[in-house]
Amino acid sequence: MAADEIAEREKQPHFARLLQIEWLADQPNGAKARVAVRDDLLQPFGTLDGGVMSSVIEDLCSRTTALAVHGEGNAAMGQSINVNFLRPITEGHAEVTARARHRGRTAWVWDAEVRDSADRLCAIGQMTIAVRPFPS
């Protein structure tokens, strides 16, 4: 049901679709998503914009939390994010893997890592997703 409503909403224009994020896994123990590098996602000096990496982390953690809590009448909203950028990405794709380290009643806390096509670690992040009763 939750998945159905979310799938329905994801047919509409939204940011993850503008980025062309590909959802690869929905498990809280190993959620995964990927974005292909293209000119539209670079910063002016030719590397993948750090904002893209932060956005994929944010959208992956938010979406996976939403899939888990939406059925109980709860909404998932990003509360905070922290990302350390380690290595630039210039081609291929960026793949984000995230793991829910804490699934509390009011917040889920995730860690995440971003790897390039050669499986090199390019960024690490932590993200808190607030869980709140859905506004009725």
- Which CB sits closer to its own copies, 19 or 68? 19
Residue for token digits 């929905």? 26
- Which CB sits closer to its own copies, 79 or 117? 79
Helices 2-9, 50-69: inter-axial angle, 10-degree rounding = 140
Annotated catalytic, 10? no
For its own copies, the binding residues (CB under 8 A) are: 6, 9-10, 12-19, 39-45, 47, 49-52, 54-56, 58-59, 62-63, 66, 75, 77-88, 101-102, 104, 106-107, 109, 111, 113, 121, 124-126, 128, 130
The answer for residues whose C-beta is within 8 angstroms of residue 132's C-beta and 6 or more apart is: 74, 75, 77, 106
Q: 94 is written with which tokens?
A: 């960026």
In the complex, minimum distance from the CB of residue 33 to its own copies, in angstroms, rounded to a whole number: 12
Q: Is 73 left (phi over 0), alpha (psi -120 to 50) or beta?
A: left
- Which of 8, 22, 58, 95 is catalytic? The answer is 58
Residues annotated as part of the active site:
58
